[in-house]
């Protein structure tokens, strides 16, 4: 998928890191929206979360997802598919650190992560389409 440079710029904005709003479909077919911390790697979005959250359960049932990241009068909107990885392994540990570093100062990262030991799920969102607005 071809992502324009101005999209990368917005998705990678830091200090403060922007929030993404994730949209999934609930069991009742109603949209569920949730703001999340994320990391954009140039190809996919990664979100650190808890496997039991409703929006994650929605993705287990139906992996289609919408995402919006906005600031002021500009936004990136994506549609795609999500995959989930829950683990106590080093790959998940490192992804958790990469996501947290976008929002917490370097000297606070390990302490922040230690406060959330039950969060061991990484949601990877691969966009199928992306739009720039603004």
From residue 87, alpha-carbon distances to 17, 40, 44 in Å are 25, 20, 19
How much is the pLDDT for 80?
98
Q: What are phi and psi of 71, to 5 degrees?
A: -150, 125
Nearest-Å Rg of the Cα atoms of the chain is 14
What is the Cα–Cα distance from 80 to 44, expressed in whole angstroms?
A: 10
**For residue 83, which of 101, 95, 69, 98 has the smallest C-alpha distance?**
95
pLDDT at 16 over 90: no
pLDDT tens digits, 91-132: 988 999 999 899 998 899 888 788 877 778 999 999 999 999
Q: Per residue in 33-89, pLDDT tens? A: 999 999 999 999 999 999 999 999 999 999 999 999 999 999 999 999 999 998 888
Domain 5-133, CATH: 2.30.110.10
β-bridge pairing 39-40 and 31-36: unpaired
For residue 130, what are its two tokens?
Answer: 């992306």
Question: What six digits make up the tokens of 68?
Answer: 């919006």
Q: Where are the domains of the chain?
A: 5-133
């Amino acid at each position: 998928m071809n992502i324009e440079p101005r999209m990368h710029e917005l998705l990678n904005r830091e200090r403060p890191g922007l929030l993404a709003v994730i949209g999934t479909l609930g069991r009742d077919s109603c949209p569920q929206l949730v703001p999340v911390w994320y990391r954009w790697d140039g190809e996919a979005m990664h979100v650190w979360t808890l496997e039991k959250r409703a929006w994650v359960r929605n993705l287990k049932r139906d992996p289609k997802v919408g995402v919006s990241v906005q600031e002021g009068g500009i936004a990136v909107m994506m549609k795609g598919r999500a995959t989930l990885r829950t683990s106590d392994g080093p790959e998940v540990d490192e992804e958790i650190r990469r996501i947290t570093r976008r929002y917490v100062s370097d000297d606070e990262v390990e302490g922040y992560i230690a406060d959330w030991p039950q969060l061991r799920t990484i949601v990877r969102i691969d966009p199928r389409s992306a739009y720039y607005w603004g």
